[in-house]
């Protein structure tokens, strides 16, 4: 189907060029529009073939209609010059195609296509606008076909369907202009709606180009509203075709830019060369004729010097223009793969919080950089990280092995977009990125193993604390209590008068009772029963109640519902750190109030302990308690930092722990 459209569009265009060489007609506005029609047939034919080769979408068919219609108009224009029918005789039936064949497709580009360049169903307002555009196109065709011109001035009419009525002959021209005015208004309305969609949704990439293209085409019809009854003057005849040529050279690029940036129709990556060719051709043709026209107005003579200078200027600008276009088209088609991708992919290494986030961000960056449907990073042992527009398994995905020091660490699966393929350039770029991805995968696996090791160490340490608690609570504590009872019994057996022995045994009994209480406090501090039974927050509230008798007011505040889901090893570390911190506040800070705050956000537990005491000197030595707090935090993969409190009073301890 795409090949048939290409033949149907390019065949008449090539035939028209051949007839133009044979006919050798003089330069006028008709010849200028012949150039416009020829360029449209060539460029739009290629665009239609590219779109229809991937999806039979209405936009593709309308672009094909434009290409075929303008090709027919081009060849008929040269046939009219070659045959040159008699002014007084009837025109051939096919002559009317010069003024009508281009109408349906070209006007549809302005009035219909902008509403169809979307993957969603057009809303009601868009359907109304499409209906108005189709009506305006039909009215334009009807007026052109029914116009009896040049009748009644001569016996013949340019249209075989002309309505030979004197009233209609007088009204045909004004009616055509009013319809053309409606077409221009509807065209600017379509451009404004595309611009509004782009403004409302910044992610709607490409619609800005579409709005500019539609506005340019619509503006080229404005001068036609002011043509005199006997035709255009010299300046208008010179520049109006040039304006049409320039706008029509831009609009197909705008369509492809919208299609590519919105990831529509599954356009193949080979469209890069097509787009560069089309844009470069349009720029060169428009530049050449524009330069000839401008120099022809300035320089004297028959215009030969102007053509020579225009040819030289165009030839000099070919290579710079091609390089400039190729870079931007490559960025449009290949995404950011047209420039080195290692720097962009590596950005996620320093910004990601966890290995999983690093790999997921890297996969997404690769998918965006190379315009891929999805990218999966499969570790040899570990979770899967996916990025891109889709995450389901794709049959035609390409596997790139990830190897570090000769050992496979995973696989990178890159899936192209629907209807596309991974060309050699994209495969080479993926191979260049693979070593960086492989190193990241290995770092992620090492970090995960270290985290698991820390978790196992924390769990073993908790088990040891529980065993020590049982030893203190069930063995040493009862033993000391039994010794105290034995001392009391020995004291009762002393004879009367043994005052010194009685006093010594009494002091020993008091000392043993004190040590028994300390053992109990130590046992509760290692693994408090309330921590295992009720959780972290109740355990902390029970902890701070012990300091009320000492005149220290401690408040516990929580934010976030994830505190209750904190792992046991992290709860034990938090409890021990907070207990040590409050103990230091009570003994050394001379504070009256202390606040403990717990906050969870994105799998991170933040704990702060702040007092209103003396604070810590800048050159203060780190004691055993400070070192213990830091080691406990690092043992569960967290950090502990100290800073001055609010308003410069007291000290603030902040913990950041993964939960």
Q: What confidence tens digit (pLDDT) does each residue in 62-118 have?
A: 999 999 999 999 999 888 888 765 555 566 778 888 889 999 999 999 899 989 877
Residue (of 257, 436, 230, 237) closest to 331 by Cα position: 257
Whole-model pTM? 0.49
Q: What confidence tens digit (pLDDT) does each residue in 204-252 have?
A: 666 777 888 899 888 888 887 776 444 445 555 566 777 777 777 678 7
Query: What is residue 593's three-state secondary structure?
Result: strand
Q: Average pLDDT of the chain?
A: 77
pLDDT at 473 over 90: no
Tokens (6 digits) for 284: 């060169």
Assess contact for 12 and 94: CB atoms under 8 A: no
Tokens (6 digits) for 173: 């021209």
Task: Give the distance from CA 633 to its chain's centroid.
Answer: 38
Q: How buried is 77 (Cβ within 10 angstroms: 0-12 exposed, 13-18 middle, 19+ buried)? A: buried
Give the per-residue pLDDT at 309.
Answer: 67
| Cα–Cα distance, 339 to 337 (Å, whole number) | 5
Q: Determine if the peptide bond prior to 442 is cis (ω within 30°).
A: no
Query: Which residue in this structure is represented by tokens 């434009």?
Result: 66
Stretch 13-20: mean pLDDT: 89
Q: What confidence tens digit (pLDDT) does each residue in 148-205 have?
A: 887 877 777 778 888 888 888 889 989 999 999 999 999 999 999 988 888 887 656 6
Stretch 538-561: mean pLDDT: 83
Give the per-residue pLDDT at 338.
Answer: 42
List domains and CATH numbers for the chain: 2-268 (1.20.1070), 342-448 (3.30.450.40), 535-658 (3.30.565.10)
Query: Which residue in this structure is represented by tokens 């091609």?
Result: 322
Give the per-residue pLDDT at 654.
Answer: 93
Query: Can you give the three-state secondary structure of 8-62, one letter per residue?
Result: HHHHHHHHHHHHHHHHCCCCCHHHHHHHHHHHHHHHHHHHHHHHHCCCCCHHHHH
Query: Which residue in this structure is represented by tokens 């590596």?
Result: 346
Tokens (6 digits) for 44: 């739009």
594 φ/ψ angles, rounded to the nearest 5 degrees? -145, 140
Number of Cβ within 10 Å of residue 234's Cβ equals: 10
Strand 407-415 vs strand 553-559: parallel, antiparallel, or unpaired? unpaired
Assess contact for 455 and 570: CB atoms under 8 A: no
653 φ/ψ angles, rounded to the nearest 5 degrees? -105, 125
| Cα–Cα distance, 102 to 73 (Å, whole number) | 6
Give the per-residue pLDDT at 337.
Answer: 45
| Cα–Cα distance, 107 to 130 (Å, whole number) | 11
Q: What is the CA radius of gyration of the chain?
A: 42
Tokens (6 digits) for 259: 């299609």
| Cα–Cα distance, 275 to 256 (Å, whole number) | 8
């Amino acid at each position: 189907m795409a090949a048939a459209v290409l033949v149907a569009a390019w065949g008449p265009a090539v035939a028209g060029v051949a007839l133009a060489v044979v006919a050798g007609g003089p330069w006028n506005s008709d010849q200028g529009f012949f150039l416009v029609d020829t360029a449209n047939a060539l460029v739009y034919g290629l665009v239609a073939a590219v779109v229809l080769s991937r999806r039979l979408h209405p936009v593709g068919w309308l672009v094909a209609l434009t290409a075929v219609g303008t090709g027919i108009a081009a060849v008929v224009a040269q046939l009219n010059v070659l045959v040159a029918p008699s002014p007084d005789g009837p025109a051939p039936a096919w002559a009317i195609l010069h003024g009508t064949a281009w109408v349906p497709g070209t006007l549809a580009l302005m009035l219909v296509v902008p509403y169809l360049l979307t993957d969603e169903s057009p809303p009601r307002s868009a359907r109304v606008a499409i209906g108005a555009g189709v009506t305006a196109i039909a009215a334009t065709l009807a007026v052109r076909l029914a116009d009896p011109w040049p009748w009644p001035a001569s016996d013949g009419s340019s249209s075989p369907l002309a309505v030979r009525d004197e009233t209609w002959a007088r009204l045909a021209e004004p009616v055509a202009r009013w319809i053309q005015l409606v077409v221009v208004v509807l065209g600017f309305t379509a451009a404004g709606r595309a611009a509004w969609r782009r403004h409302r949704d910044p992610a709607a990439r490409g619609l800005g180009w579409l709005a500019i293209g539609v506005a340019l085409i619509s503006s080229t019809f404005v001068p036609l509203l002011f043509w005199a009854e006997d035709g255009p003057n010299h300046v208008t005849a010179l520049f109006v075709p040039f304006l049409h040529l320039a706008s029509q050279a831009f609009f197909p690029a705008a369509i492809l830019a919208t299609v590519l940036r919105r990831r529509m129709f599954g356009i193949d990556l080979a469209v890069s060369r097509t787009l560069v060719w089309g844009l470069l051709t349009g720029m060169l043709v428009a530049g050449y004729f524009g330069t000839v026209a401008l120099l022809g107005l300035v320089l004297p003579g028959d215009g030969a010097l102007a053509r020579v200078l225009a040819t030289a200027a165009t030839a000099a600008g070919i290579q710079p223009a091609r390089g400039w276009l190729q870079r931007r088209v490559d960025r449009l088609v290949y995404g950011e793969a047209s420039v080195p991708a290692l720097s962009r992919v590596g950005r996620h290494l320093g910004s990601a919080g966890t290995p999983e986030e690093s790999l997921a961000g890297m996969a997404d960056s690769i998918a965006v950089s190379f315009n891929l449907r999805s990218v999966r990073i499969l570790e040899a042992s570990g979770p899967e990280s996916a990025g891109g527009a889709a995450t389901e398994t794709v049959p035609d995905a390409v596997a790139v092995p990830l190897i570090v020091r000769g050992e496979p660490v995973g696989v990178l699966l890159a899936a192209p977009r629907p209807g596309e393929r991974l060309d050699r350039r994209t495969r080479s770029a993926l191979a260049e990125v693979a070593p960086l991805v492989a190193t990241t995968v290995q770092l992620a696996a090492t970090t995960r193993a270290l985290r698991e090791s820390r978790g196992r160490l924390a769990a073993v340490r908790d088990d040891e604390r529980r065993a020590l608690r049982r030893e203190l609570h069930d063995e040493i504590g009862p033993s000391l209590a039994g010794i105290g009872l034995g001392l009391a019994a020995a004291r009762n057996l002393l004879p009367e008068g043994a005052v010194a022995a009685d006093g010594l045994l009494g002091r020993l009994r008091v000392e043993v009772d004190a040590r028994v209480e300390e053992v109990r406090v130590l046992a509760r501090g290692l693994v408090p029963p309330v921590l295992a039974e009720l959780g972290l927050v109740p355990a902390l509230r029970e902890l701070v109640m012990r300091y009320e008798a000492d005149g220290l007011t401690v408040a516990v505040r929580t934010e976030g519902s994830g505190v209750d889901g904190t792992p046991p090893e992290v709860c034990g570390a938090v409890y021990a750190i907070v207990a040590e911190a409050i103990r230091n506040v009570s003994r050394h800070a001379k504070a009256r109030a202390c606040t403990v705050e717990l906050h969870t956000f994105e799998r991170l537990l933040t704990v702060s302990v702040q007092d209103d005491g003396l604070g810590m000197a800048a050159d203060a030595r780190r004691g055993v308690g400070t070192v213990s707090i830091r080691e406990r935090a690092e043992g569960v993969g967290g950090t502990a930092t100290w800073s001055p409190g609010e308003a410069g009073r007291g000290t603030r301890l902040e913990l950041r722990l993964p939960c």
